[in-house]
Structure 1
Amino acid sequence: MRRDFVPTFALWSSAAAPVLLIGGWTVAAAVQPAGFDSLRDTISSLAGMGAAHRWVMTTALALVGACHVVTALGLRPFSGPCRLMLAIGGLATILVAAIPVPVTGESGAHQAAATVALACLALWPALWRRPGGGPFRPSAAVMLTATFVLVALVFVFAVALGAGSLVGLAERIATGAEAAWPLVTVVLLRRHVGQPAVLP
């Protein structure tokens, strides 16, 4: 198989990740009792021990993590460290789902998993370089810009978390962007080598 070939399964998994994440938090928020505020409350609270129908967000997070792992397997043109970091971000997302926040207080293990997931899913584009070099798209400028934007969004989320203001909104923007970038990357790669850039 050609090194620059991106399997169709990577297109499907990368497209599924943002749909599952956004769909998951939308449905999970809709089934919460009155008083839940998506601008203020976190995604983790939707999968927490005190949430109504917590299985909705838990399942969504686990599937999103699995999608990232599958996408990493299909990013053949990228370096091993790049693909590994994306896969670790996916595995950490699965751990976020597996370690819910308690009804009261915080969970150090959950926070650690979430931190690893956010960091890896923001930084993996910076390690894009193709083994052996060679020109191809997306370019270094595109991938490094994506990293900068994703890191900036995670930083804004961290600031919002510390300030206790619009935490839910900042988290949804950051995680939504992180979930969507693998899809953009796969589409750009497939277009570059002449593969269909849309789902069959």
Structure 2
Amino acid sequence: MRLVPWWALFSSGCAPVILVAGWAIAALLEGSAYDSATQTISVLAAYGAAGFWVMTAALLAVGVCHFVTACGLRAATRAGRTALAGGGLSALAVVLVPAPSSGGDLRHGSVAAVGFALLAVWPVLAAQRDGAAPWGLRPTPSLLATALMGVTAAWFLFEVRHQGVIGVAERLVTVMQSLWPFVVVVSCLRHSRQRRLTAEQT
């Protein structure tokens, strides 16, 4: 059985592209009133924002992509797949609880925090102890991915507290979290190909 189906490559690859395109287009629609360095992505998806529908649609699409990828990533552990799927559902929930244009809201922040946490821990939860596992599901890369996401999330919280470059920190952590599923899927496909070639040679 293949470790991942072809459509998991499509869903995982679309997530980071849609996310970045979404905030870029929404920021353009918002104009000079929006500062991507100091304001969050959520501001772009707030009611009344010029790019509301663009950013909202992007968040919905990214959430669906993560959920679909979790369904197809058969090589990962059940706990890891559940966390990734939960992160995708959290993205959908964020849309249902939009932030105000000011950017601060406890309910929205709580839902977003759950999503951040699930997408940060899924790599280490998905890791296989088997040394023959695909590279993206081995303990060391998975632990490093989770640690890096945790550090950048801590930086984001620091910037929020000190009203610094919140937008930069948030974009860094969200890009990493949306990109890692793609890295894992590619490593699984490469692993399957190498295993097939080895079988053919023997």
> By how many angstroms is 1:109 displaced?
2.1
Give the alignment partner of residue 69 of structure 1, picking from 67, 70, 73. 67
TM-score (norm 1): 0.91
Amino acid at match of 1:63: A
Q: Does 1:137 align with 2:116?
A: no
> By how many angstroms is 1:193 displaced?
1.2
Amino acid at match of 2:132: P
- Which deviates more, 55-64 or 44-53? 44-53
Q: Which residue is 1:152 aligned to?
A: 151
CA distance in 1, matches of 2:61, 2:33: 27
Amino acid at match of 2:32: A
Alignment gaps of 5+ in structure 1: 196-200
- Contact kept, 8 Å, 1:150 with 1:178, in 2: the verdict is yes
Amino acid at match of 1:72: A
Per the alignment, do residues 45 and 92 of structure 1 end up closer, same or farther by CA in structure 2, a change over 3 Å counting? same
CA distance in 1, matches of 2:168, 2:101: 22
Aligned residues: 192
- Contact kept, 8 Å, 1:62 with 1:94, in 2: the verdict is yes
Q: Which residue is 1:96 aligned to?
A: 94
Q: Does 1:31 align with 2:46?
A: no
> By how many angstroms is 1:137 displaced?
1.8
Q: Which residue is 2:181 aligned to?
A: 182
Amino acid at match of 1:6: V
TM-score (norm 2): 0.90
Give the alignment partner of residue 122 of structure 1, picking from 120, 123, 135. 120
SS at match of 1:39: coil
CA offsets per residue over residues 82-109 of structure 1, 9 Å max, x none?
0000000000011112211124574322
Alignment gaps of 5+ in structure 2: 195-202
CA-atom RMSD, angstroms?
1.6
Matched-pair identity in %: 40
Q: Which residue is 2:199 aligned to?
A: none
CA offsets per residue over residues 114-158 of structure 1, 9 Å max, x none?
00111111110011234x946212221111111111111111111
Moved beyond 4 Å, runs of 4+: none
Q: Which residue is 2:164 aligned to?
A: 165
Per the alignment, do residues 144 and 104 of structure 1 end up closer, same or farther by CA in structure 2, a change over 3 Å counting? closer
More helix by share: 2
SS at match of 2:58: helix
- Contact kept, 8 Å, 1:124 with 1:147, in 2: the verdict is yes
